[in-house]
Amino acid sequence: MKIVVLKFGGTSVGSIDKIKKVAQIIGNHKKKKFKVIVVSSAMSGVTNELVKKSREISGNFSNEEYDVLLSTGEQIACSLIAGRLNHIGFKSRSWLSWQIPIITTGLHKNSRINKINKKKIIRYLNEGGIPIITGFQGINKEERITTIGRGGSDASAIMLAKFFKAKKCIIYTDVEGVYTTDPRKLTKAKKIKVISYEEMLEMASLGAKVMQPVSIQDARLNRIDIEVKSSFINKPGTLITKRSNIFNHKIITGISSTQNDSKVSLIGVRDKPGIAASIFKPLSKNSINVDMVVQNISANGKETDLTFTIKTDDLNKTTKIIRANKSIKFRKLLLKKDVAKISIIGVGMVATPGVTFRMFQTLANEKINIQVISTSEIKISVLIDKKNIKKALAALHKEFKLDN
């Protein structure tokens, strides 16, 4: 049985006209004798609206209710897609995750799919039906609705492809594929034909919203090839696959950037074992994600400065926690909003010396100051002022020959 999983993102189902177009795409796959499983996200903007409502109703809205609320957007989109498919003559129905069920583990708001019951869907496929399944959600063993992290429909699609052993998994979105950098931030960005899981995972984790990072991890673990393409224009997209399938002579494959980061510096912290742990433990307890961290070598052996970055949304909470933390002493707390992280990514840098230098020199030529640096085998990230992001992107894109 040749199964194909098709996933449609928020903008692809963002209006009635777009849903009509999506139904045509689905119908075309079905006519090619595929058994088609569809996953949809909520219509664009809907999930954000729901988040807003949860904040308006209570400053302390529980994670359990957050999941119930946020999962509703997908129900609307799926029912509209199924309704349109019926209208144009296809057998189709919507499935909410709990009806299948899709079982998740882990905490609310950030669960992971670990099992999908196939029986009902297989029967429906064999009857010629097209199931339209809600992405982004499942139920846990207490039979409570869960969600799997923002942008999570990508991971729903990958896990469906895994459990149903799909021949193909296509992610339909509002751009033509994965680009060298966000095409909305740099018009010179180029579509990448093939990219490895490792590079895509770094690009996604470092800010390329086009794919959710968890979904790439799941795809890599299960060796599922992903095709990312546009739901508006019928053109070849990007293939995300294993490294050995790729021949690429570029040193850098792509550039990602973040927005809405803030920098927190504790000046004059007592330099003794356990101090970093006592700063970060209460932050992690409060689900605050700490990103880049640097600690300066202490000049006098007694004091040090510690800098880290967080999302600006968490800045107020973070400062409150630090000021209330009796187990740490420091002379000054410096806060800086409006910083951003820019990262160059590529397996090519493993075998090429001098990439770090070229990145720093390029930024220096643009008079852009580097505030924090972090590296791994296939990426280099730097923190800069947010106002310089566009300039930095353009300069690095050119330096590493991604413009052509």
Sign (positive or negative) of CA dihedral 127, 130, 133, 135: positive
Token pair belonging to 25: 């795409």
Between 76 and 246, name the residue whose CB sits nearer to ligand ASP. 76
Binding mask 132-171 for Mg ion (x = CB under 5 A): -------------------x--------------------
Q: Please count the residues of this chain forming the interface with ligand ADP, following the rule CB under 6 A.
A: 20
User: Locate tokens 């106002």: which residue?
Assistant: 387
* Closest CB to ligand ADP among residues 131, 151: 151
> Up-side HSE of residue 255: CA atoms within 13 Å toward CB?
28
CB of 298 to ligand ADP, least distance (A): 39
Query: Would you say 230 or 248 has its CB closer to Mg ion?
Result: 230
Which residue has tokens 């961290």? Answer: 293
The nearest distance, CB 367 to ligand ASP, in angstroms, is: 37
**SS3 for 304?**
strand
Please give the DSSP secondary-structure letter assigned to residue 351: G
Selected from 4, 5, 6, 10, the binder of ligand ADP by CB under 6 A is 10
**Judged by CB under 6 A, does residue 150 bind ligand ADP?**
no
Task: Measure the CA–CA gap between 15 and 13, rounded to whole angstroms.
Answer: 6
Site string (237-266) toward ligand ADP, x via CB under 6 A: -----------------x------------
Q: Report the residue from 6, 12, 90, 103 that binds ligand ADP according to the rule CB under 6 A.
A: 12
Write the interaction track for ligand ADP spanning residues 27-66; mark x where CB under 6 A is met and - where it is not. Answer: --------------x-------------------------
Part in contact with ligand ADP (CB under 6 A); list of ranges 30-38, 169-177, 317-325, 386-394: 169-177
E runs forming strands in 121-185: 130-134, 137-139, 145-147, 168-173
Using the 8-state DSSP alphabet, how is residue 179 labeled?
Answer: B
Nearest to 142 by CA among 199, 68, 244: 68
Q: Cα-flanking dihedrals φ and ψ of residue 249, to 5°? A: -100, 0
> What CA–CA distance (Å, rounded) separates 167 from 91?
22
Query: Is residue 388 within the footprint of ligand ADP (CB under 6 A)?
Result: no
Complex with Mg ion: residue 27 or 151, whichever CB lies closer: 151
Contact window for Mg ion (CB under 5 A) among 8-16, 103-111, 184-192, 304-312: 8-16
Binding residues for ligand ASP (CB under 6 A): 9-10, 41-42, 47, 73, 135-136, 150-153
Which residue stretch of 50-58, 71-79, 176-184, 316-324 sits at the interface with ligand ADP (rule: CB under 6 A)? 176-184
Segment near ligand ADP (CB under 6 A); pick from 49-57, 123-131, 178-186, 335-343: 178-186
192 or 339: CB nearest Mg ion:
192
**Cis link prior to 101 (omega < 30° from 0)?**
yes
| Cβ neighbours for 316, distance < 8 A, ≥ 6 positions apart | none
Q: Cβ–Cβ contacts within 10 Å for residue 228, how many?
A: 26
In the complex with ligand ADP, the residue whose CB is nearer, 178 or 378, is 178
Q: In sequence order, what are the residues at sequence separation of 6 or more whose Cβ sits closer than 8 angstroms to the Cβ of residue 25?
A: 6, 172, 231
Strand order in the sheet with 168-173: 92-95, 130-134, 35-40, 3-8, 168-173, 226-230, 238-241, 194-196
- The footprint of Mg ion (CB under 5 A) covers 9, 151
Which stretches of the chain bind ligand ADP, using CB under 6 A?
A: 9-12, 41, 151, 173-175, 178-179, 181-184, 203, 208-210, 254
